[in-house]
Structure 1
């Protein structure tokens, strides 16, 4: 990292499109803020670079590490496709290794995010803002946003790996890992210092990706919320206090969206529920990484779009091959956890002009725009997505009947599993809306649920139920919930189910299971518990250790 400053400056030059043709004559090690930053545009270009990295970071492999080792999603082998050298199996069965790419990408991406934000922060710190016609208030906001972003990367890294190398400048290399506690305290201190110096969101203000007070407060609440898993300490009371303050408007104006789709739709930057999101624009910084993974090769016809997908990921099954709901385990079964009257449980259909209904591709895949037909086992047939995993086409060939079919990660077909459409897709007539939805990283519903869980753990189940029900109500016609949470039915399984229902596919499931001590102790579809607590942390990648012999491996992976 000793040369990161100069590498980052070169990246920034490329990013804003003003790299010189005489690069051999420019010594970037001699660049100073006064010579590089000439205008507000230059400052913003540098500021946006680490935020661009954050947009990438909250997607892709970080999402995969949260969801595929947990109980709601899977990538089954479908005929000859998606074995992927056993990678998908390793995560589902908790058999990952120190050489797995998702883990290396996440370690590297975490520290790269720290480096980019730290580099920019140090340069802007030394800049006279008046020379670029900006104010000291602008400078304070920029610096504290970058500090909060550094805290965010360390917070996520702590969740994945435990203690990390703590960098406070661009100098130094081969730095050893700090302890879990030291990393926890580093995140805590960064956020506490930044929080009061950040701006507050005003009523009616759109969310455009900037970090404000409530975002820093929410990250601090997240740190305390999971403190038992991180450092073995109970900080639920501190979390509850912060969550209540956010709800009460102490850190800016936020309120729950009236509609279930509001925090996710094409215009979700206007939702009063969004605390922090990463922007997405058509043909620019697209929030589209999931499209290829989730949807069938010909789902684009159902959507009325162009461009196929890879037919990989889907919800884990709620039902056995025979159609019976699994009763052998309590976790998982994500589609069946939604009440039948839940508006989200409808099949996804785009209605035009930015309006849509439903959140799943389920059942017969025929829409007003087209039909999804099979290309593999069901070639030419209309695809019917089922909430089951089995090779039904093998009946009469390798199995006498449905009851004889196996249901494991190796037994998928091209129509296996229900597909999530949390991020809406328009048709070609409204293609300008495609990938217009921003990625909500923190939203107010999470604050309600964190406070609810804290209240539940403190013995106040009535208040906990009321907080959850305030969010649940919008998911039903006329806000009439057929199965509200009550003090009597709220236990740890109902709580973890509520997290799974509201935040399905939002890249947090592993963390929630770990907090409830369920990640390595509970069963779900085709997954038996190992009771190996070291699996609650991922290993330090071998590539990282090979490049820095000061790094120590996590226990259990030596």
Structure 2
């Protein structure tokens, strides 16, 4: 089992009422069952860390028993409600990097850019983010100095809880950042929000941006120093990385150039930590990526375990769904593929003339480069990136091959290297020599030698966008990257089936944001729909 025990906390009916404060519909979250007050629950000193583990587990698990049966979010198949799975679909299926063959509800609408305000996947994602935030709020509400004084909590546990609170604030900021990126605005609720049912006011993108920035600044002192926390728990470096992400996208989010600030925090991630680039690219996405050295590149990763965090979302989805056709499922450590995910020719072309680049992980046997039938898995090259085997080729811990052990890197050092180069090119700071050095370190890992090295004359924003695709594809970054580089909407960059046209078609700029679910607006009229919907 992973170092951070992902033990699900059994919460009381009373506590559940707190957790669902400000949720948009009482049918969209479910209580967990025992009759126990919050004070009784937290009378056990171990409950504080157990609750913290529940917050981290909220990024991986989908309910109270896993993989199905007591889901956190109702009204949708539990596997479809996964935090990582939904985030990945939003960031990848809407781009040139991924397309899906399935007919599950409206899933194809993501690549076609035809989703609506009533889309079930949009609703599930909005509610999953809200649910994660309310859980974080409740932990913070139950760990105030007043609460701890009343329970007689002192000594080292009190010190630990101070760190736990900072981590909960980080996880809440992470979810608010995802709301900013995907939806723009939403309700802003905190531990200080009312505990009785009420309709929260709408907070626009600027207000949420300011809140996340303030939170990341405010929590930093209470987080552990870089590389000193337990594996899968965040430290100061994770807060720096999230700040850098927020600032690098600030022009998109709030119309203000914060590239210099992004550079400041990227530089801290690179130079004030001991994270390092792992020597083997493919090992970053294997079942033992928590022990094979890849973990030293992961600034923050979501833990998955085939025995203890069973879910049809997360990396189980990313390992099963891309396997089909003539692919041998056993090579991926699974009992069978789901024949869903593959890529487009536009992404394949990013590797033209780069046959020695090991990041080029296409499966082509029986697959066509061009996609004539979106519903046919063999139309389009498959990508063999995520696997449930360890570095020695052994299957993950789940003997059935149903669920995987591969952890999901939310932030890794390679991304920070690429962000440094982008900040330099955008005038935020740094120098060409250092930027080229970081890029070449990644390319030398990919090529195994210096044959793929670049020079300063090769370095421009178009190169960085393509290099981000080559290095970070299928890791949940592409949509945000395309928007930041002005390539997502309009006609400046077309890819197969963009806009539901075989050769690609322009899409309107309002598609850079997803709609607030109509159901949420019906329940809380304070919410404001995004333009265009």
TM-score computed with the length of structure 2 as normaliser: 0.80
Q: d(CA) in 2 for partners of 1:189 and 1:4?
A: 31
Tell me, in whole angstroms, the C-alpha distance in 1 between the residues paired with 2:112 and 2:348. Answer: 17
Return closer, same or farther for 1:306/1:52 CA change in 2, 3 Å cut-off: closer
The answer to whether the Cα contact below 8 Å between 2:16 and 2:32 also exists between their aligned partners in 1 is no
Partner SS for 2:411: strand
The answer (yes or no) to whether the contact 1:50–1:117 under 8 Å persists in 2 is: yes
CA contact (8 A) 2:322 2:341 kept: yes
Conserved? CA contact 1:360–1:421, under 8 Å: yes
RMSD: 2.9
**How far apart are the structure 2 equivalents of 1:18 and 1:108?**
17
Match of 2:457 among 480, 485, 488: 488
Deviations 1:161-202 (A, max 9, x none): 112211123525221321211110000001001112100134
Matched, 1:46 2:46: no
1:154 is the counterpart of 2:187: no
Q: Which residue number in structure 2 is paired with residue 349 of structure 1?
A: none
Identify the residue that residue 259 of structure 2 maps to in structure 1.
Answer: 236
Residues 39 and 133 of structure 1 are in contact (CA less than 8 Å); yes or no, is this contact kept in structure 2?
no
C-alpha contact (below 8 Å) 1:334/1:501 kept by paired residues:
no
SS at match of 1:530: coil
Deviation at 1:516, TM superposition (A): 0.6
The residue aligned with 2:24 is none
Q: Equivalent residues in 2 for 1:183-194 (5 A)?
A: 183-194=208-219
Task: State the Cα distance separating 1:313 from its structure 2 match.
Answer: 1.1
Instruction: Kindly indicate whether the alpha-carbon contact (under 8 Å) linking 1:161 and 1:540 is maintained by their aligned counterparts in 2.
Output: yes
Counterpart residue number, 2:66: none
Shift of 1:263: 3.1
Match of 2:232 among 185, 189, 209: 209
SS in 2 for 1:127: helix
Greater Rg over alpha carbons, structure: 1
1:181, 1:65 → 2: CA distance?
22
The residue number in structure 2 matching 1:264 is 285
Checking the alignment, whether the CA contact within 8 Å between 2:301 and 2:409 is kept in structure 1 is yes
Question: 1:556 maps to which residue?
Answer: 532
The residue aligned with 2:27 is none
- What is the rounded CA distance, in whole Å, between the counterparts of 2:438 and 2:245 in structure 1? 17
List per-residue Cα deviations over 1:391-430 (Å, max 9, x = no partner). Answer: xxxxxxxxxxxxxxxx3xx355442222223222339964
Structure-1 residue corresponding to 2:424: 455
Task: Check if 1:307 corresponds to 2:331.
Answer: no
The reply to whether residue 168 of structure 1 matches residue 150 of structure 2 is no
Quick one: distance in 2 between partners of 1:436 and 1:94? 32
1:333 deviates by: 3.1
Count of aligned pairs? 464
TM-score (normalizing by structure 1)? 0.76
Q: Give the conservation status (yes or no) of the 8 Å contact 2:240–2:265.
A: yes
Relative distance call for 1:220 and 1:443 in structure 2 (3 A) is same
Distance 2:353 2:55 in 1: 37
CA distance in 2, matches of 1:66, 1:148: 21
Check whether the contact 1:58–1:441 (CA below 8 A) recurs between aligned residues: no
SS where residue 432 of structure 1 aligns?
Answer: coil
* DSSP-derived class of the 1:339 partner: coil
Question: Are residues 1:342 and 2:361 paired?
Answer: no
Counterpart check, 1:510 vs 2:479:
yes
Would the alpha carbon gap of residues 264 and 515 (structure 1) be closer, same or farther in structure 2, given more than 3 Å must change? same
In structure 2, what is the equivalent of residue 225 of structure 1? 248
Name the counterpart of 1:281: 305
Which residue of structure 1 lines up, in the alignment, with residue 389 of structure 2?
Answer: 426
- 8 Å contact 1:539–1:554 — kept in the other structure? yes
Aligned mates of 1:188, 1:121 — CA distance in 2: 18
1:348 is matched with none
Q: Which consecutive unaligned segments of at least 5 residues does structure 1 have?
A: 11-16, 77-81, 319-331, 346-358, 364-383, 390-406
Offset from partner CA, 1:235-287 (integer Å, 9 cap, x none) = 000000111111111xx421222222343333322421111111111222153
Deviations 1:521-555 (A, max 9, x none): 32112334536221111111111112111111111
1:277 aligned counterpart, secondary structure:
strand
Deviation at 1:206, TM superposition (A): 8.1
For residue 338 of structure 1, report the CA deviation from its aligned partner.
7.7
Contact 1:520 1:529 in 2 (8 A): no
Query: Which residue matches 1:112?
Result: 131
Q: Is the 8 A contact 2:100 2:374 kept in 1?
A: no
Provide the rounded CA distance (Å) in 1 between the counterparts of 2:184 and 2:127. 14
Q: Give the conservation status (yes or no) of the 8 Å contact 1:274–1:442.
A: yes
How much does 1:449 deviate? 1.0
2:186 partner SS:
coil
Give, in whole Å, the separation in 1 of the partners of 2:329 and 2:264: 49
Give the equivalent residue in structure 2 for 1:397: none
Residue 164 to residue 38, structure 1, CA distance change in 2 (3 Å): same
The equivalent of 1:361 in structure 2 is 363
Deviation at 1:464, TM superposition (A): 2.8
- Contact persistence 2:297–2:413 (CA under 8 A): yes
Q: Does the CA-based 8 Å contact 2:109-2:115 persist in structure 1?
A: yes
- Local SS of the residue matching 2:301: strand
Partners of 1:264 and 1:424 within 8 A in 2: yes
Q: 2: distance between equivalents of 1:191 and 1:119?
A: 19
Structure 2, unpaired ranges of 5+: 1-12, 21-30, 62-81, 499-503
- 1:291 is aligned to 2:262: no
Q: Distance in 1 between matches of 2:299 and 2:513?
A: 28
From 148, 167, 176, give the equivalent of 1:127: 148
1:113-166 CA-partner distances (Å, limit 9, x unpaired): 110011012112222586487433201110100011111110010000112211
Q: 1:97 deviation in Å? A: 0.6
SS class of match (2:424): helix
